[in-house]
Amino acid sequence: MRGLTVFISDLRNCSSKEQEEKRVEKEMAHIRSKFTSDSNMNGYNRKKYVWKILYMYMLGYEVDFGHMEAVNLLSSQKYSEKSVGYAWCALMLREGDELLRLIINSIRVDLISRNDNAVCLALNSICNVGGKEFAETLSNDVLKLLTHNITKTYVRKKAALTALRLFRKSNDTLPAEQWADRILALLDEKNIGVLTSVTSLVLGVLAVDSAGWEAAAPKAARTLTRLVLNKDYSNDYLYYGIPTPWLQIKLLKVLQHFPPPEEHALKLRVSEVLQRIVSGTEVTKNVNKNNATHAVLFEAINLSIHLGQSSETLPQCINLLGRFISIREANIRYLGLDTMARLSQEQPHTLDDLKKHQSTILFSLKDPDISIRRRALDLVYAMCDTATVKETVSELLNYLDNADDHIKEELVLKIAILSERFASDNSWYVDVVLQLVRSAGDQVADEVWYRIVQIVTNQGEDLQRYAAQGVWTILNAEVLPHKNLVKVAGYVLGEFGHTIAESPGSSPSEQITLLHKHFRNADPDVRALLLNTYVKIAHTYAEVAQMVSEVMQQHSAAMDQEVQQRAAEYISLSAPSLASIKGTVLEMMPHFTERESIVSKALASKSKGDDPEAPTRRVEPRAEAAHAEAAPPPPPPSRQETPDLLGGLADEPAAPAPPPGGGGGAGSAADLLGGLDLGGGGGAAPPPAAPSSGADDLLGLMGGGGGGAAPSGGGGGDLLDALGGGAPAAPAGGAAAGGGPSPQWLALCMRNDGVLFEDATLQIGVKMEFNGHQGRMALFFGNKGQFPLQQLATVLSPCPQLAIQVSPLPSTLQPRQQLSQNFLIECNAPFGDGPQVKVSFMGGSGPAQIVARLPLNPSKFFAPLVTDGGDFFRRWKLFEGKELQKIFKLKTAPLAEPEVERVCAGGMKMAVLRGVDPNTANYVVAGWMAVKGGAPQSDTASVLMRLEVNAAAGMCRASVRASDAGLATAVAQIVQSHLAAP
Q: What is the pLDDT of residues 619-678, one digit of tens each?
A: 333 333 333 333 333 333 333 333 332 233 333 333 333 444 443 333 333 332 233 232
CB atoms within 10 A of CB 938: 13
User: What local confidence, expressed as pLDDT, does residue 632 receive?
Assistant: 37
Q: What is the DSSP letter of 919?
A: S
φ, ψ for residue 430, nearest 5 deg: -60, -45
**Which distant-in-sequence residues (6+ apart) come within 8 Å of 822 by Cβ?**
776, 777, 778, 806, 807
Does the pLDDT value for residue 725 go beyond 80? no
User: What local confidence, expressed as pLDDT, does residue 18 receive?
Assistant: 92
Range name among 544-548, 742-746, 927-931, 961-965 with the lowest pLDDT average: 742-746
Cβ 720 vs Cβ 847: under 8 Å: no
At 825-875, the pLDDT tens digits run 999 999 998 899 999 998 877 888 888 889 999 999 999 999 988 888 889
At 428-454, the pLDDT tens digits run 989 998 888 888 777 787 888 788 888
**Coil, helix or strand at residue 731:** strand
Question: Of 217, 209, 301, whose CA–CA distance to 266 is shortest?
Answer: 217
Query: C-alpha distances in angstroms, 751 versus 350, 705, 756?
Result: 63, 14, 12
- How large is the average pLDDT for residues 745-764? 90
CA-CA distance, 24 to 54, in Å (whole number)?
Answer: 12
φ, ψ for residue 635, nearest 5 deg: -80, 175
Cβ 709 vs Cβ 733: under 8 Å: no
CATH topology of domain 743-856: Immunoglobulin-like (2.60.40)
| CATH number for region 384-586 | 1.25.10
Report the chain's terminal Cα–Cα distance, integer Å. 86
Q: How many degrees, rounded to 5, is the angle at CA 743 between CA 738 and CA 744?
A: 125
At 90-125, the pLDDT tens digits run 888 887 777 777 788 888 888 888 888 999 999 998
- How large is the average pLDDT for residues 572-598? 78
Cβ 400 vs Cβ 412: under 8 Å: yes
List the domain boundaries for the chain: 384-586, 743-856, 861-979
Range name among 532-546, 633-647, 717-731 with the lowest pLDDT average: 633-647
Does the pLDDT value for residue 543 go beyond 50? yes
Range name among 132-146, 278-292, 790-804, 885-899 with the lowest pLDDT average: 278-292
- How large is the average pLDDT for residues 393-398? 88
At 192-201, the pLDDT tens digits run 999 999 999 9
CA-CA distance, 302 to 296, in Å (whole number)?
Answer: 10
| CATH number for region 861-979 | 3.30.310.10
Question: Of 429, 482, 477, whose CA–CA distance to 451 is shortest?
Answer: 429
CB atoms within 10 A of CB 398: 12
CA-CA distance, 364 to 326, in Å (whole number)?
Answer: 9
- How large is the average pLDDT for residues 225-247? 88
Considering the chain, what is the average pLDDT of its residues? 81
Does the pLDDT value for residue 89 go beyond 50? yes
Binding-site residue set: 2-3, 34, 44, 48-52
User: What local confidence, expressed as pLDDT, does residue 357 receive?
Assistant: 87
Bond prior to 894 in cis (omega within 30° of 0): yes
* Most confidently predicted of 615-624, 704-713, 791-800, 841-850: 791-800
At 481-522, the pLDDT tens digits run 888 889 899 999 998 888 998 888 889 999 989 898 888 888
Please state, for a pLDDT cut of 90, what percent of the chain lies above it: 24
Beta-strand relationship, 242-243 and 238-239: antiparallel
Cβ 887 vs Cβ 644: under 8 Å: yes
Query: Per DSSP, what are the bridge partners of residue 777?
Result: 768, 823
- How large is the average pLDDT for residues 289-304? 90
**Which distant-in-sequence residues (6+ apart) come within 8 Å of 640 by Cβ?**
665, 667, 884, 886, 969
Cβ 258 vs Cβ 267: under 8 Å: no
CA-CA distance, 216 to 258, in Å (whole number)?
Answer: 9
Does the pLDDT value for residue 237 go beyond 90? no
Q: How many degrees, rounded to 5, is the angle at CA 736 between CA 735 and CA 739?
A: 75
CA-CA distance, 378 to 364, in Å (whole number)?
Answer: 11
- How large is the average pLDDT for residues 145-157? 90
Indicate the pLDDT class of residue 599, thresholds 50, 70 and 90. Answer: low
Residues in the chain: 982
CA-CA distance, 567 to 577, in Å (whole number)?
Answer: 18
Please state, for a pLDDT cut of 70, what percent of the chain lies above it: 85
Query: C-alpha distances in angstroms, 69 versus 49, 99, 488?
Result: 9, 12, 76
| Helix (H) or strand (E) run with residue 199 in it | helix 192-206
CA-CA distance, 616 to 67, in Å (whole number)?
Answer: 45
User: What local confidence, expressed as pLDDT, does residue 368 receive?
Assistant: 85
**Coil, helix or strand at residue 884:** strand
Exposure string for 370-392, b = 16+ CB within 10 A, e = fewer: eebbbbbbbbbbbbbbeebbbeb
User: What local confidence, expressed as pLDDT, does residue 341 receive?
Assistant: 87
